[in-house]
Amino acid sequence: MPDVIVVHFDELALKQGRRPYYERNLVYAVQTAMRDLGPVQINAVHGRFVVAPGRSNIPVDVLVERLSRIFGVHHLLVGVEVATETLLIVNAAVALALRAKSSHSISTFRVRVRGNDRRVHRTRSLEVEVGSVIAVATGWAVDLDAPDYTLIIELAAGRAFVLSQRIEGPGGLPYGTSGFGVALLSGGIDSPVAAWMMMSRGMRVGVVHFHARPYTTEEALTKVYRLAHGLTRWQPTILGLMVPLADSVHRVLVEHGSAPLRTILTRRFMMRIACALGAPHKAQALITGDALAQVSSQTVTNLAATDGASALPILRPLVGMGKAEIIRRARQIGTLAISEEEGDDCCSLLAPRNPTAAATLAEIAACESALPVAEMTQQAVESSIPFRVRFEDPSPTKPPK
Ligand code: ATP
Ligand code: MG
């Protein structure tokens, strides 16, 4: 009896018209997530995928762990595939139930049959038949509402899957179905969560980090590089750019003496530079980890002033979230521990003692009219360093060269 994992999709079923498109992207996402493992079998079978180790001999646990991080996956069911004869289904079901009994304390169970092959087996009678044999073999009682153990039989396209272990997927939409966005990745807790949230909606994400070398440390760059690597658990390859601001932007702003506005002016340069860097990759949006009123630069007025410098829409998926909720999510996706490592921030370096919480557009315009905005942006773009991280690479210990 070959081991199989049956993968059920999220939301995709709702997008009837575009279903083949979403399915293609999900197949690609599954293949990409498995690319370093070997020839894993992936088949589409009537609205679900069936994944099997095939000749690769990869343990099912490893496949399950990978599949549970693919956006678009609603849940996984693990079990075996058998021919559609009732006797074989009953035997497989009893074997799975006994295996569960040996490792878990279970006293109630139910059997569910689903699928579109009702011609072969009548759902209800198969449930009763399998259920009665399991009851005898295990001594468990039937509980249809809240059982300790559920056995699922899926019948599809002339195949039978006997499944017992259910693992939740992350949901969302598959990689590549919502265009490309550039996430502004600081070394903080928030921005990796923001990037993850847009990935979960099917957006392919690239990252940009601004630093103030030599006034900030090499460790801070390494940390951001490690954060990008942490995100490859969710998007297996990530392209990024490290952008030095010390000469191109910070020095000029300090010379112009616009102290209270410096944070917002720097933010506006970040947006211009990120748009310029994203243009060759056809970026459709910027992504930031702003949360409303979390710090003084995140008032509605300042967020709007930042928007004004961006040629692309700025997506702020955390805007309505509280810090505790963001931290919980960061822990869940695996970036919190990296964000909590040591590392200075390019913006705190030049932050004025009294940053303005309500920059007026007129004040900003007056300051910027005295600055060579296009040249500053261009200089930052030209001095940026590209990098690429992949899931299968070791976590970086040095910044990209
Ligand atoms: P984070 O935890 O993501 O650093 P934060 O709460 O510290 O966020 P800010 O420092 O005001 O908030 O930054 C707001 C957003 O601006 C960040 O979430 C990030 O998207 C972007 N950002 C800030 N600093 C940088 C940087 N040095 N490089 C790239 N993006 C940055
Ligand atoms: Mg920050």
- Residue 133 vs residue 115, higher pLDDT: 133
User: Cα–Cα distance between 10 and 13 in angstroms, integer?
Assistant: 7
Pairing mode of beta strands 141-142, 180-184: unpaired
Is the torsion defined by CA of 31, 386, 207, 373 positive or negative?
Answer: negative
Pick from 186, 326, 335 the residue to mutate for probing ligand 1's pocket: most ligand atoms within 8 Å of its CB.
186
Percentage of residues of the chain with pLDDT beyond 70 = 93
Q: Closest ligand 1 atom to the C-alpha of 184?
A: 30
Radius of gyration over alpha carbons of the chain, in Å?
26
Percentage of residues of the chain with pLDDT beyond 90 = 72
Alpha carbon of 264 to ligand 1 centroid (Å): 12
> Which ligand sits closest to the CA of 213?
1
CA-nearest residue, atom 7 of ligand 1:
188
Q: Are 219 and 343 in contact (CB under 8 A)?
A: yes
Q: What is the pLDDT of residues 84-127, one digit of tens each?
A: 999 999 999 999 999 999 999 999 999 999 876 656 567 888 99
Q: Are 381 and 182 in contact (CB under 8 A)?
A: no
Mean pLDDT, rounded, for 181-209: 97
Largest CA distance in the chain: 85
Mean pLDDT, rounded, for 159-173: 94
Name the H helices within 279-360.
300-307, 323-333, 336-339, 346-350
CA-nearest residue, atom 22 of ligand 1:
186
Is the pLDDT at 354 greater than 80? The verdict is no
Per-residue pLDDT, 73? 95
Mean pLDDT, rounded, for 207-236: 95
Per-residue pLDDT, 318? 97
Alpha carbon of 290 to ligand 1 centroid (Å): 7
Per-residue pLDDT, 200? 96
Alpha carbon of 185 to ligand 2 centroid (Å): 9
The CA distances from residue 223 to 209, 283, 288, 318, in Å, are 11, 25, 18, 22
User: Which domains are assigned to the chain?
Assistant: 3-168 (3.30.2130.30), 180-390 (3.40.50.620)
Mean pLDDT, rounded, for 21-31: 89
Q: What is the pLDDT of residues 52-69, one digit of tens each?
A: 998 888 999 999 999 999
User: Cα–Cα distance between 240 and 205 in angstroms, integer?
Assistant: 9
Q: What are the φ/ψ torsions at residue 143 (nearest 5 degrees)?
A: -140, 110
Q: What is the pLDDT of residues 242-299, one digit of tens each?
A: 999 999 999 999 988 778 889 899 999 999 999 999 999 999 999 999 999 887 778 8
